[in-house]
Amino acid sequence: MPRRLITLVHFSALSRISIQEIRDFLCVLARAKIGVLAWALVSLKRSQALIPVSMDALLARLVEWGIQATTTTHEAVFTVAAAAHTHDAIPGVHCKNLFLKDSRGQLWLVVCPHDRPVDLKTLPARIGSGRLSFGKPALLDEVLGVIPGAVTPFALINDTEHRVKVVLDAWMVAQEKVNYHPLVNTATTTVSGADLVRFIQACGHEPVMIDLAP
């Protein structure tokens, strides 16, 4: 008789537990170990997915998806006003990006030309949202993986759970050159409006295009 089975027999005799019960218990332990390993792998995969994409990885993805882009580096800018001095040096439409949360808990990213006024009081009726307010920096970092001042539609590459609804100004996406930060506020990336839409769709989002003019 194999030594392992002899041991099981001795154990069962002492404890009055059948060999089959012992085997069943060992199978449960084995399945539990497999379950723990599977949970660990899922957790690792999820934690890796939560690591924000870098600027270099984003630009590589643009190339991979056949999106033509030009990136210009500059000093850090944190507001639309502070970025004004870059407008003459970088051709195209310069844009602002509003990360918003409505009263129902839905997150929104509204993107339009930098000089287009956006009234948060009237915007809900235009986009079908609840009452809107700006999203907190911690929530911005959690969902889009960027800091205030670097908000951009390119950050949708980090929203793998598709928590954000995207609204784009219709006039903006019809332009040949539109400009956004490539996840950092020390550079500006220029693409076409059509390619911006294609990028957002490739990230698994379906943007809504509306006329955001007053």
| Model confidence pLDDT, tens digit, residues 124-159 | 999 999 999 999 999 999 999 999 999 999 999 999
Of 195, 92, 115, 123, whose CA–CA distance to 153 is shortest?
A: 195
Q: Are 38 and 157 in contact (CB under 8 A)?
A: no
On the question of pLDDT at 214 being above 70, the answer is yes
Residue 158 CB: number of other CB atoms within 10 A?
22
Q: How many Å apart are CA 129 and CA 214, to the nearest integer?
A: 18
Domain count, the chain: 2
DSSP 8-state symbol, 58: H
Q: Which of 30-39, 88-97, 191-200 has the lowest mean pLDDT?
A: 30-39
Residues 17 and 88 in one domain: no
Query: Which residues lie closer than 8 Å to 91 by C-beta, 6 or more apart?
Result: 177, 190
> What SS3 state is found at 84?
helix
Q: How many Å apart are CA 125 and CA 14, to the nearest integer?
A: 76
Residues 33 and 126 in one domain: no
Residues 77 and 144 in one domain: yes
Residues 78 and 178 in one domain: yes
Residues 37 and 65 in one domain: no
Residues 67 and 109 in one domain: yes
Q: Give the pLDDT mean for 62-84.
A: 92
* Model confidence pLDDT, tens digit, residues 161-209: 999 999 999 999 999 999 999 999 999 999 999 999 999 999 999 999 9
Residues 85 and 191 in one domain: yes
Domain holding 110, by residue range, is 55-210
Residues 84 and 161 in one domain: yes
Residues 11 and 83 in one domain: no
CATH of the domain at 141: 3.90.960.10
Of 171, 73, 67, 155, whose CA–CA distance to 114 is shortest?
A: 171
pTM, two decimals, is 0.76
3-class SS shares of the chain: helix, strand, coil, % to 5: 45, 20, 40
Q: Residue 72 corresponds to which tokens in the numbers above?
A: 């210009």
Residues 174 and 202 in one domain: yes
> What SS3 state is found at 183?
coil
Residues 9 and 98 in one domain: no
Residues 7 and 84 in one domain: no
